[in-house]
Amino acid sequence: MSPATTRRSAKPDQICAAAVDQARAAIEDDRVGPYVGVVAEGDRVVTHFFECTIRGYRGWRWAVTMARAPRSRRPTVSETVLLPGEEALLAPPWVPWHERLQPGDLGVGDLLPPRADDERLVPAYIQSDDPAVEEVAFELGLGRARVMSRAGRLETAQRWYESDHGPSAPISVAAPASARCGLCGFYLPIAGSLRQMFGVCGNRFAPDDGRVVSADHGCGAHSEVAVEAVTHVEELPTVFDDGEVEPVDQP
């Protein structure tokens, strides 16, 4: 049993418990409903509860805590507060913005700075004072302050692979077994460590045009897909034999 439960199981102080009108008057709001009851908080300390009639606060209760000094017969108001009851309407638990945000929530003009402890990013190349080193760094694309960490790349690869642009997508399953993106002429491999598994589709007639696809993804717009040729059959001309014509008399 918790300490709070132990205190509230005690018998309320009679003098503080009888000060219901004083407790009601301490609530500086005219939306106070019927009296609910009193609970002992400790020695010579009680809390009176009143129903709340404010619209939108169904199940909430006004709570007024009263206390008195030893040998004193005049209780005083300690605090007043509005508390939720067992059937109160409560707001959902607060969730940090970086956990509430979902893919697609970012709109035009919105800013989405990464968290300072974002595990997907790690410090990248630090600028050098050697022009030759900087020239090589520029060629290698090392001009960014941070790059994706290994954990960030693995998370991204897993998300891409399980998406509609991976091997399990319906269009990929329905495509010929040989029509895989990694063998397609329109497949543009991306740079970096994900190059072996992912690229971008460059076929404007394909549904994945401009999107990242896995090398084992596929579709019917593969550059090497072939339709089985239909053999053309030439029909012989119709021949009439006049010697087999039987004359028929007309009535």
Better-predicted residue by pLDDT, 68 or 131: 68
Q: Is the dihedral of CA 144, 150, 155, 160 positive or negative?
A: positive
Confidence (pLDDT) at 7? 45
Confidence (pLDDT) at 91? 82
- Using alpha carbons only, give the angle 160, 166, 170 rounded to the nearest 5 degrees: 135
Phi, psi of 39 (to 5 degrees): -135, 135
5 pLDDT band, cuts 50/70/90, is very low
2 pLDDT band, cuts 50/70/90, is very low
pTM over 0.85, yes/no: no
8 pLDDT band, cuts 50/70/90, is low
Confidence (pLDDT) at 64? 96
Is 70 exceeded by the pLDDT of residue 126?
no
Distance CA 120, CA 146 (A): 10
Overall average pLDDT of the 93-122 stretch: 79
* pLDDT tens digits for range 159-182: 999 999 999 999 999 999 999 999
203 pLDDT band, cuts 50/70/90, is very high
- Using alpha carbons only, give the angle 20, 23, 25 rounded to the nearest 5 degrees: 110
**What average pLDDT does the structure give for the chain?**
84
Q: Count CB-CB contacts under 10 A for residue 148.
A: 19
* pLDDT tens digits for range 35-61: 999 999 999 999 999 999 998 898 999
List 146's β-bridge partners, or say none.
123
Is 90 exceeded by the pLDDT of residue 137?
no
